[in-house]
Amino acid sequence: MEDHDSFLAAYEFLESKSKWGMIEDLFGGIGMEVRRQVPLAQYPQGAKMLTRLANQMDEAARNVNRKARDLDRKNVRDWRELSRQSKFSLP
């Protein structure tokens, strides 16, 4: 998950440059990569958490596309919190 958090760190830079298309692609790519890890999860709760994280990025990408800036910022905050929680809850 650390790799995805690193990619997400680019969000603030891209947002400051109003690169919304790139942000949408970034979020979509993170969601896709996290979703690809779901079948590799060793425990059911891990698969559920990865699915929730992937869905969060999908929603963020949709909000960027809709130009719902407040919502995409909330999605990023929620992702970071969920990602932090997953580090404590996944075996």
Asked if 34 contacts 53 with a C-beta cutoff of 8 angstroms, the reply is yes
Backbone phi, then psi, for 67, in 5-degree steps?
65, 30
Asked if 45 contacts 89 with a C-beta cutoff of 8 angstroms, the reply is yes
d(CA 9, CA 6) in angstroms, rounded, equals 5
Asked if 50 contacts 37 with a C-beta cutoff of 8 angstroms, the reply is yes
Residue-range definition of the domain harbouring residue 9: 2-89
Backbone phi, then psi, for 42, in 5-degree steps?
-80, -20
Q: Mean pLDDT over residues 15-25, rounded? A: 94
Q: 3-class DSSP state for residue 79?
A: helix
Q: In the structure, what pLDDT confidence band is assigned to residue 88 with cuts at 50, 70 and 90?
A: low
Domain count, the chain: 1
pLDDT score recorded for residue 58 = 95
33-82 confidence digits (pLDDT tens): 999 999 998 888 889 999 999 999 999 999 999 999 999 999 999 998 98
pTM of the shown model: 0.85
